Amino acid sequence: MGKEQEKYQLVTKVELLTKEKLTFSVRNPLLFKDNERKYVKVIQAFALILGAALILGVGVMFLLMGSMDGLYMILPIPVILILIILHSSEKAQIVQLNMNFDSKLSYVEFENNYVGRRQSLSNPSQLKIVVRFFPLPKVGSIKLISVELVGLSNGVDSQEVSKEVVATFRFWSVKDAQDKLNEAETSFKFLADWLKIPVVVEENVLYCDTNTRNIF
């Protein structure tokens, strides 16, 4: 499986390190479907062609002028531009999650290299997969699949039902997200099996009011 194909999978590289430790990678939450990002590749290709043409044009100009010192001063600029574009196009498109689960205390904690903070729950009861729709005034909306671990909060009131988001996957439309629900359920079955909890797929799209943070 090539890098380009792998980075668009929902889950990759699942590794059971011990009975209590698990690591896996998920698709970057800002990465859309491959076949709907062609415009990004077109822009990158155009920028690369422009950079190459700039190098060639500047080189010819200074050669005609007989000034090689000026060429050496200007040349790094388009070269740096090309390197930045290449780096951005090849940057890591997956997020790694590291999980610890104490089955005796029924306590799970995890962190990923995207959120950058540790999350935890007691008595995990289900792994919930839901399509969420966030309207953004004057901007548009966000459509995503949210994979959430439901359990009890580790705050003062330990009996309060809470949830922690394990992963989110953005899509261009609600239909695209709904079409991927079955894949999400299958992809995260390993996690539910490891925690010995059921996977619950929410059939309805949950619309989230971004002003009040209420779901209706």
pLDDT of residue 92: 53
pLDDT of residue 73: 56
CA–CA distance, 198 with 211 (Å, rounded to integer): 32
pLDDT of residue 213: 42
Give the residue among 52, 40, 34, 53 at the shortest CA–CA distance from 89: 40
Question: Considering the entire predicted model, what is its pTM?
Answer: 0.70
| Domain limits, the chain | 3-31+93-207, 36-89
pLDDT of residue 90: 45
pLDDT of residue 192: 95
pLDDT of residue 136: 81
Question: Terminus-to-terminus CA distance in the chain, angstroms?
Answer: 41
Specify the DSSP element, H or E, that contains 140: strand 140-152
pLDDT 10s per residue in the chain (216 long)? 445 555 668 998 899 998 899 999 998 888 776 444 555 556 656 666 666 666 666 666 666 666 555 555 555 665 666 566 555 544 456 788 999 999 888 999 999 877 778 899 999 999 999 999 988 877 788 899 999 999 988 765 557 888 999 999 999 888 999 999 999 999 999 999 999 999 999 988 888 764 444 333
pLDDT of residue 94: 79
pLDDT of residue 71: 53
pLDDT of residue 113: 78
